[in-house]
Amino acid sequence: MKFKAILFALAAVVGLAACNGCSNFQTKSPQVTVFEIKQHYDLALGVAVAYDNLPPCNPALPGPDAPPIVCAKASVVKQIKLAKDVASPAVNGAEAAVRDPNFDKSAVDAIVASANQAVIALTAITVALQVK
């Protein structure tokens, strides 16, 4: 039987927030758009940190030393780090681009879309987190 903790319900909120950002690119300035994407990234990281903070799962332990029911899988901790390592340069690159007064405005859409996709990839992991 699988349970979803209150904590992980928030991941869905983060997921919805990330998608809202996708539809509003044209109505906000590039800086505001990237700021919003970075906020979503920060929230997704918050969920990931909470997951990493759980006691580690270790199915090899028997009896009273059995792993806690709510635990962090090593494979998921690694997956989160990989997604973070992809998203971080994309988001920071987008921030650097839009904060540069001489930035190439024609490249904004591609930069923003790339950063948003990277954050969505991380968000997808946090939304899928479940507590066994």
Distance CA(84)–CA(126), nearest Å, equals 11
Please name which of 83, 65, 70 lies closest in space to residue 5, comparing C-alpha atoms.
70
**Could you tell me which of 121, 117, 119 has the C-alpha nearest to residue 88?**
119
Q: How far is the CB of 75 from other proteins (least distance, A)?
A: 9
Q: Which of 12, 22, 25, 38 binds other proteins (CB under 8 A)?
A: 38
| Choices 31-39, 57-65, 103-111, 113-121; region in contact with other proteins by CB under 8 A | 31-39
Q: Contact 40/17 with Cβ under 8 angstroms?
A: yes
Instruction: Pick between residue 41 and residue 112 the one whose CB is nearest to other proteins.
Output: 41
Residue by residue, what is the 3-state secondary structure of 11-66?
HHHHHHHHHHHHHCHHHCCHHHHHHHHHHHHHHHHHHHHHHHCCCECCCCCCHHHC
Size of the site for other proteins (CB under 8 A): 43
* Interaction between residue 10 and other proteins (CB under 8 A): yes
Alpha helices per DSSP H over 54-102: 74-99
Binder among 19, 32, 110, 128 for other proteins (CB under 8 A)? 32
Taking CB under 8 A as the criterion, the residue among 7, 12, 121, 124 binding other proteins is 7
Which residues of this chain interact with other proteins, rule CB under 8 A?
Answer: 3, 5-7, 9-10, 13-14, 17, 28-29, 31-32, 35-36, 38-39, 41-43, 45-50, 52-53, 68-70, 72, 74, 77-78, 80-81, 84, 88, 91, 95, 99, 131
